[in-house]
Amino acid sequence: MREAVSPVQSSNFGLKEQAVELIRAAGPSRMASLGVAELESFRSGASFVPASKNGLEVICGASCEVGAQ
């Protein structure tokens, strides 16, 4: 799974200096096994993705200023 944040917040400021694989190199296909019903459940019926992980937009708003740095 690709993840948005490092689990340790305080050490994240230096990430921009680190070489990482943001764009994964082409390689052999990975395989997975999921049924159509499960795929469709998250395509057509998943919970909406909130702006903030904990839904703070209800209190703070969800404009582009949220978390802008």
Contact status: 65 vs other proteins (CB under 8 A): no
Residue 8-47 contact track with other proteins, rule CB under 8 A, x = bound: ----x--xxxxxxxxxx----xxxxxx-xx-xx-xxx-xx
Could you tell me if residue 59 is left (phi over 0), alpha (psi between -120 and 50 degrees) or otherwise beta? Answer: alpha
User: What burial class does residue 5 get, using C-beta atoms within 10 Å of its C-beta: 0-12 exposed, 13-18 middle, 19+ buried?
Assistant: exposed
Q: Does residue 59 touch other proteins according to CB under 8 A? A: no
Rounded to 5°, the CA angle 51-52-55 comes to 95
Shortest distance, position 43 Cβ to other proteins, whole Å = 5
- The contact set with other proteins (CB under 8 A) reads 1-5, 12, 15-24, 29-34, 36-37, 39-40, 42-44, 46-50, 53, 64, 67-69
